[in-house]
Amino acid sequence: MTKISGKKIKNMLCNNIMLKLASVVLAFLLWLLVINIDDPQVTSTIENIPVTILNEDVITGNNEVYDVISGSTVDVKVIGPRTIVDALKRGDFTATADFQDLSKTNAVPIVVTLNNTRYESKVTIAEKSNNTMRLSVEQIEEKEYPLNVEFSNYVASGYVVYSSSPEVETVVVSAPKSVHENISKVAVSINLAGDETTDFEYSGNVFVYDSDGKAMDREKNHIRLGFMYIKVQGTVYYKKTVDITYQVVDNLSDGRVLTEYDSSIKTIDIVGRKEVLDGIDAINIPEELTVVTDDKTEIEVNLNDILPEGVYIYNGDGIVKITAQTEDVVRKTITVKVGDIGIRKIPDGYEGSIINNGDINIVIQGREEDVAEIDAEKLAPYVDLTNAAAGNNRVKVNVVLPDEVSMVSEIYVNVVLTERDTETTESPETTVSQETPSSTENPATETGEPATDDTTGSEGVTGSEQETTTPEA
């Protein structure tokens, strides 16, 4: 065997390069020619061919709607000559679903055809990704919904939209049953200008909202409305926050006492014309509505019944609940010495004295904490002789008590009212009369000093303690 040296191999590869390249090109052209002459069968997949629906009125004509669950597009595998198959595109095929062929299970066969009839005999549709279009079919139902009014933006500062009145109160909605089950409300949306201080009239679009509070796509959900555009009239009032004032009236039995009370709300927002509200600072509950008895310690007052004309509650029902706390009455007996009882308003020219002996017992009642603080000194007992007559008088003993405490029963003492003995010293110049003093006969007046009347009893001093003096001539 003859060996070829490396040098010879190198020369063979490097020489005649152009001839060698021409040989390669010629070989490729020969291969391409053979392929084109033979044109072998190949398989290819055409994807996402849209399915056209035919005879839709088979469903919609029966007052029904449908949604495509699957089969809105289809993929097909085709077999044919490479020269044809490689050139095919999605638009070369037509896919249809004829609703006249709708089955009881709401399935419609999908038919795919090749648009170019020249290739029908050469290309075969071997397989489809979807043989049927599957539908959900529902009957359309009509339901009537109350119409709400919603506002975007606000009216002028300090003002509110108190009420609104759409031209219709309800709207009929046509939709599948499943859609009705998801509807939360129907509302007309009104866009405010932002500077309203008086009543207005605007129009707005009607929207249907789902359970999440979002506006529903009418076309997607097969929704039809009786009204698409509605006019709304609105009332604009001035708003003001005022106090609620009241005074509980105690009408409890002798065995009970009112300890405290409170109300469910202390202030209220009211609305009305500004010129009316400017004159209102509080809402006062009349006393006849706040009477507390043993059987009625919780009072409910409707402020709407007592508001001035042209004034209304803003937000809330205007109900105020007043709750009173009561306790059993506690009694306490306080012993008072007769000598500690003061005498007031002794008539002129008389002196009085209490003729009772020993002590008297005064029984008071009220809350335990109030009664516990009272003693004989704080009672400051006294009798008033304003209406007493000469001689023996039966006079009520008065005491000083806070409003929450009272006497269980009245106490009386006997007071003797007698004329006061007056010594009179006559002189050639002056005669003093105890009963009828005159400005010319009273030396005190003549000297320019104020005259005094010693006959009027002072508080807490008996008539026997008073002294009468006669000026000397």
117 located within any domain: yes
Q: Residue 380 pLDDT > 50, yes or no? A: yes
> What is the 3 state secondary structure string of the chain?
CCCCCHHHHHHHHHCCHHHHHHHHHHHHHHHHHHHHHHCCEEEEEEEEEEEEEECCHHHHCCCEEEEEEECCEEEEEEEEEHHHHCCCCHHHEEEEEEHHHCCCCCEEEEEEEECCHHHCCCCEEEEECCCEEEEEEEEEEEEEEEEEEEEECCCCCCEEEEEEEECCCEEEEEEEHHHHCCEEEEEEEEECCCCCCCCEEEEEEEEEEECCCCECCCCCCCCEECCCEEEEEEEEEEEEEEEEECCCEECCCCCEEEEEEEECCCEEEEEECHHHHCCCCEEECCHHHCEECCCCCEEEEEHHHCCCCCEEECCCCCEEEEEEEEEECEEEEEEEEHHHCEEECCCCCEEEEECCCCEEEEEEEECHHHHHCCCHHHHCCEEECCCCCCEEEEEEEECCCCCCCEECCCCEEEEEEEECCCCCCCCCCCCCCCCCCCCCCCHHHHCCCCCCCCCCCCCCCCHHHCCCCCCCC
> Are 333 and 432 in a shared domain?
yes
Residue 461's CATH number: 2.170.120.30
> Are 173 and 235 in a shared domain?
yes
> Are 166 and 151 in a shared domain?
yes
> Are 344 and 468 in a shared domain?
yes
Q: Which of 239, 255, 289 delimits the end of a domain?
A: 239
Q: Which of 305, 328, 351 delimits the end of a domain?
A: 328
Domain extent for 232? 139-239
269 located within any domain: yes
288 located within any domain: yes
> Are 339 and 441 in a shared domain?
yes
Q: Does the global pTM surpass 0.75?
A: no
> Are 154 and 58 in a shared domain?
no
Confidence tier at 37 by pLDDT (50, 70, 90)? low
126 located within any domain: yes
> Are 114 and 177 in a shared domain?
no
Confidence tier at 292 by pLDDT (50, 70, 90)? very high
Mean pLDDT of 297-323: 95
Confidence tier at 30 by pLDDT (50, 70, 90)? confident
83 located within any domain: yes
Q: Which of 208, 239, 270 delimits the end of a domain?
A: 239
Tell me the per-residue pLDDT of 181-225, one tens digit each, with 9 for 90 and over.
Answer: 999 999 999 999 999 999 999 999 999 999 999 999 999 999 999
> Are 65 and 33 in a shared domain?
no
pLDDT score at 111: 95
Mean pLDDT of 107-120: 90
Confidence tier at 12 by pLDDT (50, 70, 90)? low
pLDDT score at 98: 96
The domain total for the chain is 5
> Are 145 and 112 in a shared domain?
no
1 located within any domain: no
366 located within any domain: yes
Percent of the chain with pLDDT over 90: 68
pLDDT score at 38: 63
pLDDT score at 5: 63
> Are 198 and 213 in a shared domain?
yes
Confidence tier at 255 by pLDDT (50, 70, 90)? confident
> Are 74 and 119 in a shared domain?
yes
> Are 30 and 53 in a shared domain?
no
